[in-house]
């Protein structure tokens, strides 16, 4: 059932999706108030493994340093040389390739070639910025504000939240369970880009009203209200349904589930943790993804997909697990591509009518909940100023 009883005007005007000032606001809020999903733990399994990326204009290096995961700014404290190129790799030493400065897990220098040429070097000032890092199941999150005391406490294990709220622990337990390495294996790890504002892409994931038009051969029509349960929380929203279509893909999913784990749970659950982390959970696969802006009209999402491990042992069980994971990843890519084809049209429509009015139906109440949350960030920013 839905929670709202009437239609709702969109609280974010189109210019909040199209202007440089709105983009600047969004980047600042996301950088200072959120944890960013950056990697899967399996990418950092061995000491020396690293992942380097740019997120919200911050150049990050996440590395397994002797069994400890650390996140630093990917720039040497000496002359700002990039420590490693963007991508995934392995380095035995935490060292800059320009002059050989070496660093410890705390970001401080450990070895300086010809150190006598740097008399009186203040090693506390000239060091790498270290960012708070947290692991939730197989998910690695980083806070992009290295000076955030609350985030530092969170990374050390003190109860805190995901987005300056009080409920992240509720969500983190669910997310961790849906990618636990004993039951799930990584089947997808991609950055996907869209020609639209990040909020357009996020909002497209929060409602099923578009399914029949955009996904006629994959999802088909959205379930009736009686078959859908929406819940609205202070820190996020959820959708849950057991209604399934009778497509060949659904039939194949059910058959594979029964063959590999012996049963099939039809429940589909979608979780949105404000402002931009989402999870799509079903019996065969878990997809956890986060949206982020690149420019006013460009965005990206990191998508980590996990497939259920088969209960059957031996070659047959491995084959079933592999095939099931491949099928889930292929379907996910197709759905994202179908959404990605409509998003630019939404973006161009708002750019052509920046003061236009928009409205949400009752089935789109999760978008209204997100708008209320994001409008509150603007009020908080004004209060600080």
- pLDDT by residue (tens digit) across 330-384? 888 999 999 999 999 999 999 999 889 999 999 999 999 999 999 997 766 666 6
- Check whether residue 359 and residue 307 sit in a common domain: yes
pLDDT in tens, 20-47: 999 999 999 999 989 999 999 999 999 9
In a domain, 25, yes or no: no
47 in the Ramachandran plot: left (φ > 0), alpha (ψ -120 to 50) or beta? Answer: beta
Is the same domain home to 152 and 196? no
103 and 192 share one domain: no
Indicate whether 26 belongs to any domain: no
Contact 70, 125 (CB under 8 A): no
* CATH number for the domain harbouring residue 237: 3.90.380.10
Quick one: which of 349, 10, 1 has its CA closest to 203?
10
Between 76-80, 196-200, 325-329, the lowest mean confidence (pLDDT) is in 325-329
Residue 251 shares a structural domain with residue 370: yes
Q: What does the pLDDT read at residue 306?
A: 94
Beta carbons of 281 and 265 less than 8 angstroms apart: no
Query: What average pLDDT does range 253-264 have in this prediction?
Result: 68
Number of domains in the chain: 2
310 or 142, greater pLDDT: 142
Structural domain of 300: 8-15+183-384
Q: Give the residue with greater pLDDT, 83 vs 378.
A: 83
Task: Give yes or no: residues 188 and 118 share one domain.
Answer: no
Could you say which of 161, 192, 209 is where a domain stops? 161
pLDDT at 17: 97
Can you say how many angstroms the Cα of residue 108 is from the centroid of all Cα atoms in its chain? 30
């Amino acid at each position: 059932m839905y929670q709202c009883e009437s239609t709702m005007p969109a609280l974010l005007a189109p210019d909040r999706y199209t202007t440089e000032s709105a983009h600047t606001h969004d980047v600042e809020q996301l950088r200072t108030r959120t944890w960013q999903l950056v990697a899967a733990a399996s990418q950092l399994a061995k000491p020396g493994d690293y992942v380097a990326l740019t997120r919200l204009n911050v150049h990050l290096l996440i590395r397994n340093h002797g069994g400890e995961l650390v996140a630093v700014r990917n720039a040497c404290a000496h002359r700002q040389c990039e420590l490693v190129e963007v991508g995934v790799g392995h380095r035995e030493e935490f060292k800059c390739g320009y002059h050989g400065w070496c660093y410890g897990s705390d970001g401080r220098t450990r070895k300086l070639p010809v150190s006598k040429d740097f008399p009186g070097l203040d090693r506390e000032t000239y060091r790498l910025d270290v960012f708070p890092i947290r692991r939730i199941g197989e998910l690695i999150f980083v806070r992009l504000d290295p000076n955030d005391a609350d985030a530092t406490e969170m990374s050390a294990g003190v109860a805190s939240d995901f987005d300056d709220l009080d409920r992240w622990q509720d969500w983190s337990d669910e997310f961790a369970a849906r990618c636990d390495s004993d039951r799930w294996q990584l089947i997808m790890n991609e950055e996907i880009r869209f020609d639209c504002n990040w909020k357009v892409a996020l909002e497209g994931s929060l409602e099923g009203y578009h399914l029949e038009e955009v996904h006629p051969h994959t999802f088909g029509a959205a379930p009736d209200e009686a078959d859908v349960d929406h819940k609205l929380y202070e820190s996020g929203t959820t959708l849950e349904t057991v209604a399934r279509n009778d497509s060949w893909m659904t039939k194949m999913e059910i058959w594979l589930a029964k063959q590999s784990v012996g049963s099939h749970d039809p429940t589909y659950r979608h979780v949105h943790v404000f402002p931009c982390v989402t999870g799509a959970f079903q019996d065969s696969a878990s997809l956890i993804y986060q949206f982020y802006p690149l420019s006013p009209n460009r965005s990206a999402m990191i998508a980590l997909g996990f497939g259920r491990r088969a209960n059957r042992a031996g070659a047959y069980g491995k084959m079933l697990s592999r095939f099931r994971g491949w099928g889930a990843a292929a379907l996910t890519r197709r759905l994202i591509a179908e959404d990605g084809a409509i998003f630019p049209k939404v973006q161009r429509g708002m750019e052509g009518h920046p003061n236009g009015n928009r409205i949400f139906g009752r089935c789109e109440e999760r978008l209204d909940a997100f708008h209320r949350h994001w409008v509150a960030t603007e009020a908080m920013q004004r209060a600080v100023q």
